[in-house]
Amino acid sequence: MNKEKAIIFLPSLCLIAVLVFIPFLMLAYKSLSVGDSIGIANYLELFRDSTFKKALKNTFTISFYVVSATLIIGLPTAYFISRTQGRLKNVFLLLILFPLLTNAVVRSISWMIILGYDGILSRLLNNLGFLMEPISFMYSKFAVIVGSTYIFLPLMIISLIGVMDNISEEVEDASISLGATRFKTFFTIIIPNSISGIIVGLVLVFTATLTAYTTPNILGGTRTVVLATLVQQYGTTLGRWELVSSISIFLFVLTVVVITLINKGAEAIGGTNEKK
Amino acid sequence: MARLQLNDLKVSYDGKVNILENYNLDIENGKLVSILGPSGCGKTTTLRAVAGFLDTRGGKILIDDEDYSKTPINKRNFGIVFQSYALFPNMTVYENVAYGLKLRKVPVEQREKQVLDILETVEMISFKDRKPENLSGGQRQRVALARALVISPKLLLLDEPLSNLDAKLRIEMRAQIKKMQQKYKITTILITHDQEECFSISDKVAIMNNGKIEQYDTPENIYSSPNSIFVADFVGFKNLLDVTKVGNGLYRLSNGKEIKAEDVENPKKIAIRPQNIAVAQKGESLIEGHIKVRTYLGDSYQYEVDSDLGDIVVNTSDSIALNTGDTIKLNFPESEICVLTD
Amino acid sequence: MKKSKILTIFVFMVFFYLVYPLFITVVASFNSNDILTFPIEGFSLKWYKSAFSSSYLSGFTISFQVGILATIISLIFGVPVAYGLAKYNDKFTNRIKNIFFSPILIPGIVLSYSLFLCWVFIAKEFDMKLPKFFVLMLAHIIILFPYTIRVIGGAFDKFDFLIEDAATSLGASKKDFILHILLPSITPAIVSASVLSFITSFNNIPISIFLYGRGATPLPIIMMQDVEKYGNPGVAAVSVVLLFITIGITFLIEKTLGLNNYGR
Ligand SMILES: Nc1ncnc2c1ncn2[C@@H]1O[C@H](COP(=O)(O)OP(=O)(O)O)[C@@H](O)[C@H]1O
Ligand SMILES: [Mg+2]
């Protein structure tokens, strides 16, 4: 019995130990080493660093908007798809899943065209009379938010469709027969019964945005820095290696804390993921 | 409190094939009518059309002479009990029942009183704070019933409400349904494919086949005098035999023997239930055959008899069992024969 | 099921939001001008020529090789683990489960950096420079491993382990059971895990940030650098080529496995 378990699990445990735990410990050690001694000087330095503070603030602002936007857009969309039947549903799912299969550069460059100087959005606003001269929206928080929402929306929708498919249409019918409108039913029946999917979606999108590198790098550049792009910029471009390790550890801790908080919050309102 | 009339109802899912056509049904105020029929015959379709989940393509749904066929579902005020119960998983028993009243903006105190009252009636008061996932099938059923009734609906519509329960609970729950229906004197349609279930509690039964009502009558009349071969077969006339008419009230069977029965023009078949066939001890008999299969039914034996009329099924309450291969003589008592024209 | 008009309009706007940018990319890739614009100035295929330039092609080769190798290795490690996690439901197993899923918790760029530190350490202490391609592949294995376990685990969760007893009672050895029953019954999951893993590896950027080097730069990194540097339509052309490859793969998944196996 135990021999079988060992054969099954031991190789992978070694794999994880060598490729994840040891490097991670090395990283943690590095973040605590100052010259030849050990201490938290790097972290203190980090929290005095104004670029870091800005990046932290940007990361949270962007994550907040992206999470809200994906949820608000995702709920009705997922509901619509979940209540579609047959081939059409597959077509919709395909449209949702497809962007997930392409890399973030592919998905971001069109936003450069839309948001760039004298780009599609700028011209549109010009024509509508909101703008007098062409401008660029690139490298702003707005650009990163719009692009990230675009990229992470499918994650939210897929998580939501999963639970909404399990809400029987009879339950909705029951609500309507008792006098509720469809609109009301959506808020009193569909959303409360989708909590577990909402939680999964929130965790996925929040952590994805928190740690996203590619989209903020392309659409935010050096002007709108977030934590993940700061890791790279302080490392390869600016050579402030002593801070890179501590930002990395900080980003990891932040991710874990956010996941834990969302799940704790979910438990508190009774929307845990277990299904009976 | 309402009389329901379905006039020439026409319903289709795809706009091409009509599942229901020229569908008529008249239910008097406060009566419980069952719609009974085989799977796929259109029972659910009928109920969903009445409830408003399906648009009708023609005809009227009259409640006390007012046409409801264009009224939005949420304005119809019908109580519906779904096959899956369809309780709201996110709400407690109490909240489930209170939901309809909340939507009607019934003041809190009155709402509470009404909800507790009806939970008391269905004996679910002690479970009021539970979530549906922590209830048994029978308990969910009670909550579903309470939720549908608390809004004082014009109609109560039940789609196979008992099919997910075990045999014992079914009997208990159908009594409960009848009790509630009478207490609130509410016009009710019950859908079922279980004959015993509907005969026991219905004022009238509509037997459906292929989107049409074959017979609409009291359970007693349907039980004793089915008006078609389909109905006879459906309500347990296991023996259906071809006949030709040879005189007034006189019919010839396919083996050449003649029998007497009620006089009917253009008869096609006669029908008789297994338990109404008489076993002849000696002398003349209508049928002679030998036993192919014997089944013990608890209070009687059932034999499948191979005869010159084909297979005949007969029940006898004799305590002495006959064996496979034994010869048996049978007679059809005149009063138990039902003559059918189509 | 009747759906409200407002909802339908809303959802079609969402689909527009999801599809329109891809459409723009396709159009922009045919621009005869040297910058990314829409609408385009004139039609030209010149960017497609650049899409097949040597730097993109070598990036493609690297990404392809890394993706294939990482997928295979993570399957070799992942399938037994998925089997074990589904079969044993004791305390010990549940505890080590978290270990196997732990890479998910670590942001890709952090993993990348930590592996880079190891690389530097080994180079310094042992005077041994591990090949960049090798390290890149190790990093991608780590990214894929949790997904592999999850997808394969989904198939094992539906597997009735009494079948193993049944097979043994019929005289099957452990090896017979694995080869004749276990693996064939999870083949669809292995196929979807492979496709999913390969695509994930092929598209992942953060995990490679600190690890690529000369002769070992994955395609998306090259694309990203080009976008940062010039923003020319060449990247759009590469994107379009990738889009069409992806459409082909998606179509294949949908035909062979059905969408419902995907994305869960
Ligand atoms: N959603 C639907 N779309 C198309 N046809 C349907 C649908 N639901 C039922 N039908 C068809 O309508 C007929 C009656 O079905 P139904 O009313 O559900 O039967 P019952 O409830 O008596 O078993 C069947 O032939 C069935 O195939
Ligand atoms: Mg039905």
- The pLDDT confidence band at residue C130, using thresholds 50, 70 and 90, is very high
For C80, the token pair is 């037994």
In chain B, what percentage of residues exceed pLDDT 70? 100
Query: What is the structure's pLDDT at C51?
Result: 85
Pure H helices in chain C? 5-28, 46-51, 54-87, 91-101, 108-125, 132-157, 162-169, 174-176, 183-185, 187-203, 219-229, 233-256
- Contact of C113 with chain A, judged by CB distance below 8 Å, is answered with yes
- Contact of B51 with chain A, judged by CB distance below 8 Å, is answered with yes
Cα–Cα nearest to B132, from A200, A186, A171, A194? A171
Mean pLDDT of B323-334: 89
- The pLDDT confidence band at residue B282, using thresholds 50, 70 and 90, is confident
Contact: C209, A183; criterion CB under 8 Å = no
Pure H helices in chain A? 2-16, 22-32, 41-48, 50-82, 87-97, 104-115, 120-128, 141-164, 169-177, 182-185, 195-211, 214-215, 227-232, 241-268
Q: What is the per-residue pLDDT across B59-113, written as a single tens digit (0 to 9) for each?
A: 999 999 999 999 999 999 999 999 899 999 999 999 999 999 999 999 999 999 9
Distances in whole angstroms, Cα of residue C10 to Cα of each of A80, A120, B36: 10, 21, 43
Q: What is the per-residue pLDDT across A237-248, written as a single tens digit (0 to 9) for each?
A: 888 888 999 999
pTM: 0.87
For B295, the token pair is 């089944």
- Contact of C9 with chain A, judged by CB distance below 8 Å, is answered with no
Kindly report the backbone phi and psi dihedral angles of residue B305, in degrees, each rounded to the nearest multiple of 5, phi listed first. -110, 130
Please, what is the average pLDDT of chain B? 92
Query: What is the structure's pLDDT at C262?
Result: 46
Contact: A173, B74; criterion CB under 8 Å = no
Q: What CATH code would you report for A43-275?
A: 1.10.3720.10
Decide: helix, strand or coil at residue A169: helix
* pLDDT digit string (tens) for chain A, length 276 residues: 588 889 999 999 999 999 999 999 999 999 998 888 888 999 999 999 999 999 999 999 999 999 999 999 999 999 999 999 888 998 898 888 888 888 899 888 889 989 988 889 999 999 998 988 999 999 999 999 999 999 999 999 999 999 999 999 999 999 999 999 999 999 999 999 999 999 999 999 999 999 999 999 999 999 999 999 999 999 888 888 889 999 999 999 999 999 999 989 888 876 544 433
- Asked whether the beta carbons of B279 and B316 are under 8 A apart, the reply is yes
Query: What is the structure's pLDDT at A1?
Result: 55
Of all protein residues, the one whose alpha carbon is nearest to atom 1 of ligand 1 is B13
Using CA atoms, how far apart are residues A101 and C246, in angstroms rounded to an integer?
7
Q: What is the per-residue pLDDT across C67-110, written as a single tens digit (0 to 9) for each?
A: 999 999 999 999 999 999 998 888 888 889 999 999 999 999 99
Starting at the earlier edge strand, list the strands of the sheet with B56-63. Answer: B18-27, B4-12, B56-63, B66-67
- Asked whether the beta carbons of A199 and A192 are under 8 A apart, the reply is no
Contact: C77, A217; criterion CB under 8 Å = no
Mean pLDDT of C54-70: 94
Any ligand 1 atom below 6 A from CB of B319: no
Q: What is the DSSP secondary structure assignment for residue C165, as one 8-state letter? A: H
User: What homologous superfamily does CATH list for B4-224?
Assistant: P-loop containing nucleotide triphosphate hydrolases (3.40.50.300)
Which ipTM score applies to this complex? Answer: 0.91
- Within 8 A by CB and 6+ apart from A176, the residues are A182, A185, B73, B74
* pLDDT above 80 for C260: no
Of all protein residues, the one whose alpha carbon is nearest to atom 4 of ligand 1 is B13
- Looking at the DSSP bridge assignments, the partners of residue B247 are B250
- The pLDDT confidence band at residue C258, using thresholds 50, 70 and 90, is low
Q: Mutation target for A interface from C101, C106, C251, C254: give the one with most A CBs within 10 A.
A: C106
Task: Give the type of residue at C22.
Answer: L
Q: What residues does each domain of chain A span?
A: 1-39, 43-275
Q: What residues does each domain of chain B span?
A: 4-224, 237-340
Q: What is the per-residue pLDDT across B133-176, written as a single tens digit (0 to 9) for each?
A: 999 999 999 999 999 999 999 999 999 998 888 888 889 889 99
Rg (CA), chain C: 23
- Looking at the DSSP bridge assignments, the partners of residue B306 are B290, B311
Contact: C110, A27; criterion CB under 8 Å = yes
User: What homologous superfamily does CATH list for B237-340?
Assistant: Nucleic acid-binding proteins (2.40.50.140)
For B24, the token pair is 């008529």
Q: Which residue does chain C place closest to A23, by CA atoms?
A: C114
Mean pLDDT of C231-238: 83
The structure tokens 């749904």 sit at B61
Mean pLDDT of C244-250: 84
- The pLDDT confidence band at residue C246, using thresholds 50, 70 and 90, is confident
Contact: B75, A179; criterion CB under 8 Å = yes
For B239, the token pair is 């023996």
Q: How far is B199 from chain A (nearest CA, A)?
A: 27
Mean pLDDT of B245-252: 90
- Within 8 A by CB and 6+ apart from B309, the residues are B241, B253, B254, B255, B287
Report the nearest atom of ligand 1 relative to the CA of B160: 21
Q: Mutation target for C interface from A93, A101, A190: give the one with most C CBs within 10 A.
A: A101
- What are the b/e assignments for C244-257, b being 16+ CB within 10 Å? eebeeebeebbeee
- The pLDDT confidence band at residue B317, using thresholds 50, 70 and 90, is confident
Count of CB atoms within 10 A of residue C12's CB?
12
Distances in whole angstroms, Cα of residue C29 to Cα of each of A271, B260, C40: 46, 92, 9
